[in-house]
């Protein structure tokens, strides 16, 4: 069954849309919504090789490319275009901030760090932190014992949780190694009178005294906040292991 | 196919039928009719269309919702992460197709099959690539004469037994508060991956000798075979675009897929380097489009799993070590993480699940997760795929159970 389009043009169109889509993603810098920002050369590499495929197709057309596209080829082509369709739907609006509190619920292994079987050891890192500049949630989790009792400022997204007492919410970020599929959450409980006015997935800056509270054998970071301010969504919504 | 009757017999010969009446053959020119060709829409085309409709439906109905965003970000992320390696793998595959003669591949292979399998399982140490890159160019090597069992050893071990994956494992399991790296985790991961790959390859060699595991075993040994993995229906349609090329109707799942084969032996002397390079790149483009659709299906299924499965629930049900291993093996298949990154997710289960279960997660994912399964089906038969799946799952599970109960001396957790 053919639907009036040549096989060669259909293949060319798929390659062109992929090339243009990835070039646009690169140009807008929105690749960091999906992959670790430092991996941008791979996206560039994709664009160049796909361009090469396209040029080779034009310079030396494939044999039989003038034949009509079959129903199967339409379906296969449609499948190839599906990721681009999804990608385009994620580049604006609330979706442009990436993984959200829904993903947090699915990926969280419970609040806190350490357990009965893996107690937190003493921290040998004695680097002083600047209490006027934000530090990452990952750093807070990693150096919780040392930082406990200090004033910290951090940034992240809000997760309101019915299981938390009134006046408390969770601030979270995701750490990614390669892409958002491997994202793991880092989170802290925030105690603030402003909790009631916040809604899930707002971006905020939190400042306050950090405490390490033990719940079910796990050390949970708790920030007794004296400031909670809304901020704009950052360009790079995720943390990298370096920032962890 | 022959259909007998009391007095007449119709024997089909391609699209033309021969008829005998009362055992008296009738000359073809006297009685001849065309068997009408019924073109059905193949099952896989319908299935693909249904998949596409569901995926687009989900996009339309869930766009802007928290769940829809999680699904979309996970789906596109898996594709974008895998894409560079699939494209590079396709490029290497295209270059091999056009520039590397079969004899050269044969010369490189050790004469003894076991040595070939051992070498292939170690090849990742020299060529560190992730699992998405190995499939396009390995299937091309198989078409160039590399035994399927040897290819299996590389497909299974290559993505894990390499420097990049080793480094990420050490990094993921490194506790900055501990005096040294977790070398035991690295050694176990590399050792088990190597052992399982070699063992499965040897069994596959017995079960599927030669190229009988391939979708198109008849192409075994054909120089210049395209390696698209589709069965070829040899009703050639000679609408040549240039000399020595012919177009065939592919019948992979009865899909009529256009393609071409080349007489490289004859042409390679005549052709200019530039023309051959363009041909190699065209092959690569075809490979990318051929493998890409399977990657899309696998990535979408994985993204759905990422969206609906709460990881904490996995921990809650995995009380016994055996259950924990099975649960994390299932999670590895569902999540489709890159071999370079899955150690970090595995390490997030430290303290909650035993190391044997985490190791099962790290071993199985790069060998046979959802997207890889879909990509395997682009060039091996369903029977061979089921055998491979059963063997890999069984070896990973049994190895981890034995390791858990007999190997983890000193209470490694």
Judge if B200 and B337 occupy the same domain.
Answer: yes
At residue B212 the predicted structure's pLDDT band, cuts being 50, 70 and 90, is: confident
Domain count, chain B: 2
Name the CATH superfamily housing domain A101-243: Nucleic acid-binding proteins (2.40.50.140)
Phi, psi (degrees; rounded to nearest 5) at A81? -85, -15
| B256 contacts in chain A (CB < 8 Å) | 70, 72
Numbers of helices and strands, H then E, in chain B? 16, 8
- Give a yes or no: residue B10 inside a domain: yes
Say if B39 falls within a structural domain: no
Q: Is B50 on the interface with A (CB under 8 A)?
A: no
Q: Which chain A residues are closer than 8 Å to B91 by Cβ?
A: 49
Averaged pLDDT for residues A110-129: 53
Which residues of chain A are within 8 Å of residue B131 when distances are taken between CB atoms? none
The per-residue pLDDT for B241 is 34
Spell out the residues 6+ positions from residue B285 whose beta carbon is closer than 8 angstroms to its own: A11, A15, A53, A54, A56, A57, B90, B94
With cut-offs at 50, 70 and 90, classify the pLDDT of residue B112: confident
CA pair distance B11, B29, nearest whole angstrom: 15
Q: Which carries the bigger pLDDT value, residue B369 or residue A204?
A: A204
DSSP designation for A50: H
CA proximity to B232, closest of B211, B212, B216: B216
The answer to whether residues B26 and B97 belong to one domain is no
| ipTM metric | 0.90
Residues of chain B with Cβ-Cβ distance to A85 below 8 Å are 56, 59
Amino acid B143: pLDDT: 78
Do B14 and B148 lie in a common domain? no
Asked if residue B101 is part of any domain, the answer here is yes
Which one of A41-45, B336-340, B391-395 scores highest in mean pLDDT? Answer: B391-395
Indicate the helix (H) or strand (E) that contains B2: strand B2-4
Which residues, 6+ apart, have CB-to-CB distance to B308 below 8 Å? Answer: A106
Residues B19 and B121 occupy one common structural domain? no
> Binning pLDDT at 50, 70 and 90, where does residue A158 land?
very high
Phi and psi torsions of A170, nearest 5°: -110, 135
Give the pair of three-digit tokens for residue A124.
């040998």
Contact of B48 with chain A, judged by CB distance below 8 Å, is answered with: yes
Chain B residues in contact with A177 (beta carbon < 8 A):
168, 340-341, 344
**Which pLDDT score is estimated for B299?**
85
Give how far Cα B165 sits from Cα of A158, B137, B158, B173, B179, Å: 34, 20, 10, 12, 22
Q: Confidence band (pLDDT; 50, 70, 90) for A141?
A: confident
Which pairing describes strands A184-191 and A218-230: parallel, antiparallel, or unpaired?
Answer: parallel
Q: To the nearest 10°, the Cα dihedral for B179, B181, B184, B186?
A: 180
Please state, as a whole number, how many other Cβ atoms lie within 10 Å of the Cβ of residue B305: 18
C-alpha atoms less than 13 angstroms from C-alpha of B379 in its C-beta half-sphere: 28
Where exactly does CATH 2.40.50.140 map onto chain A? 101-243
What per-residue confidence (pLDDT) applies to A127? 65
Question: Tokens 């994620």 sit at which residue?
Answer: A90
Can you give the pLDDT at residue B217?
63
- pLDDT tens-digit series, residues A142-153: 888 888 899 999
Instruction: Using CB atoms, pick whichever of B176, B311, B341 lies closest to residue A177.
Output: B341
- Average predicted confidence (pLDDT) for chain B: 76
Q: Are residues B118 and B12 in the same domain?
A: no
* Nearest-by-Cβ selection for A117 from B41, B289, B413: B413
pLDDT of residue B240: 34
In a domain? residue B247: no
The answer to whether residue B44 is domain-embedded is no
Q: Which domain holds residue B13?
A: 2-34
Q: What is the average pLDDT value for chain A, to the nearest integer? A: 84
pLDDT at B298: 81
pLDDT at residue A126, as a whole number: 62
Which of helix, strand or coil describes residue A108?
coil
- Per-residue model confidence (pLDDT) at position B335: 77
Mean pLDDT of B312-341: 81
Identify whether residues B174 and B297 lie together within a single domain: yes
- Say which DSSP state B271 is in: S
Of A129, A170, A152, A156, nearest to A209 by C-alpha is A152
Higher pLDDT, A244 or B224: A244
Q: Are strands B2-4 and B8-13 parallel, antiparallel or unpaired?
A: antiparallel
Interface test with B, best of A44, A45, A86, A99 (most B CBs within 10 A): A86
Instruction: Indicate whether this model's pTM tops 0.80.
Output: no
- Greatest extent of chain A over all pairs of C-alpha atoms, in Å: 73
Is residue A67's pLDDT more than 90? no
The reply to whether B348 touches chain A by the CB within 8 Å rule is yes
Question: Which of B36-45, B130-139, B352-361, B385-394 is most confident?
Answer: B385-394
């Amino acid at each position: 069954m053919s639907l009036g389009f040549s096989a060669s043009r259909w293949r060319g169109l798929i390659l062109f849309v992929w090339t243009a889509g990835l070039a646009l993603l690169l140009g807008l810098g929105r690749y960091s919504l999906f992959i670790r920002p430092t991996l941008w050369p791979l996206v560039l590499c994709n664009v160049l090789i796909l361009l090469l495929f396209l040029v080779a197709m034009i310079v030396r057309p494939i044999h039989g490319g003038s034949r009509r596209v079959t129903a199967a080829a339409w379906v296969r082509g449609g499948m190839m275009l599906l990721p681009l369709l999804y990608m385009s739907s994620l580049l604006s609006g609330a979706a442009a901030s990436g993984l959200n509190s829904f993903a947090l619920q699915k990926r969280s292994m419970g609040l806190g760090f350490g357990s009965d079987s893996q107690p937190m050891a003493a921290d040998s890192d004695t680097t002083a932190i600047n209490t006027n500049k934000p530090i990452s949630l990952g750093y807070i989790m990693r150096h919780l014992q040392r930082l406990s009792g200090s004033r910290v400022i951090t940034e992240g997204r809000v997760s309101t949780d019915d299981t938390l007492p009134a006046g408390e919410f969770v601030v979270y970020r995701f750490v990614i190694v390669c892409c958002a599929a491997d994202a793991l959450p880092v989170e802290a409980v925030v105690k603030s009178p402003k909790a009631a006015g916040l809604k899930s997935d707002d971006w905020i800056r939190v400042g306050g005294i950090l405490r390490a509270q033990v719940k079910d054998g796990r050390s949970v970071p708790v920030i007794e906040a004296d400031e909670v301010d809304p901020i704009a969504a950052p360009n790079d919504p995720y943390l990298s292991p370096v920032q962890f | 196919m022959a259909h007998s009757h009391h007095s007449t017999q119709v024997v089909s010969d391609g699209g033309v039928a021969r008829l005998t009446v009362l055992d008296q053959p009738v000359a073809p020119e006297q009685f001849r009719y065309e068997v009408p060709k019924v073109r059905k829409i193949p099952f896989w085309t319908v299935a693909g269309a249904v998949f596409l409709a569901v995926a687009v439906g989900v996009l339309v109905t869930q766009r802007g919702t928290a769940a829809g965003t999680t699904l979309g970000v996970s789906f596109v992320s898996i594709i974008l992460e895998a894409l560079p390696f699939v494209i590079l793998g396709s490029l290497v595959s295209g270059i091999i197709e056009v520039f590397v003669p079969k004899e050269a591949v044969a010369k490189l292979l050790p004469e003894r099959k076991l040595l070939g399998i051992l070498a292939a399982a170690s090849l990742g140490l020299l060529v560190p690539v992730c699992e998405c890159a190995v499939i396009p160019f390995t299937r091309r090597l198989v078409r160039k004469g590399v035994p399927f069992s040897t290819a299996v050893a590389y497909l299974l071990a290559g993505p894990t037994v390499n420097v990049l994956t080793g480094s990420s494992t050490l990094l993921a399991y490194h506790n900055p508060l501990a005096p040294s790296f977790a070398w035991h985790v690295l050694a176990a991961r590399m050792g088990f991956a190597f052992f399982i790959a070699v063992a499965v390859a040897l069994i596959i060699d017995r079960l599927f000798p030669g190229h009988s595991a391939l979708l198109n075993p008849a192409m075994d040994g054909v120089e210049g075979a395209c390696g698209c993995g589709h069965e070829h229906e040899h009703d050639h349609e000679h609408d040549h675009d240039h000399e020595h090329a012919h177009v065939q109707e592919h019948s992979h799942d009865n899909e009529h897929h256009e393609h071409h084969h080349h007489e490289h032996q004859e042409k390679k002397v005549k052709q200019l380097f530039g023309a051959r390079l363009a041909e190699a790149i065209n092959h690569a483009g075809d490979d990318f489009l051929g493998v890409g659709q399977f990657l899309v299906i696998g990535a979408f299924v994985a993204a759905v799993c990422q969206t609906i499965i709460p990881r904490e629930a996995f921990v809650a049900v995995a009380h016994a070590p055996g259950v924990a291993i099975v649960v994390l093996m299932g999670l590895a298949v569902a999540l489709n993480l890159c071999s370079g990154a899955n150690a970090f997710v595995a390490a997030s289960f430290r303290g909650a699940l035993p190391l044997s279960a985490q190791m099962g997660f790290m071993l199985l994912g790069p060998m046979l997760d959802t997207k890889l399964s879909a990509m395997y089906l682009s060039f091996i038969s369903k029977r061979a795929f089921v055998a491979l799946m059963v063997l890999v799952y069984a070896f990973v599970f049994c190895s981890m159970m034995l390791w858990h109960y007999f190997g983890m001396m000193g209470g490694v957790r």
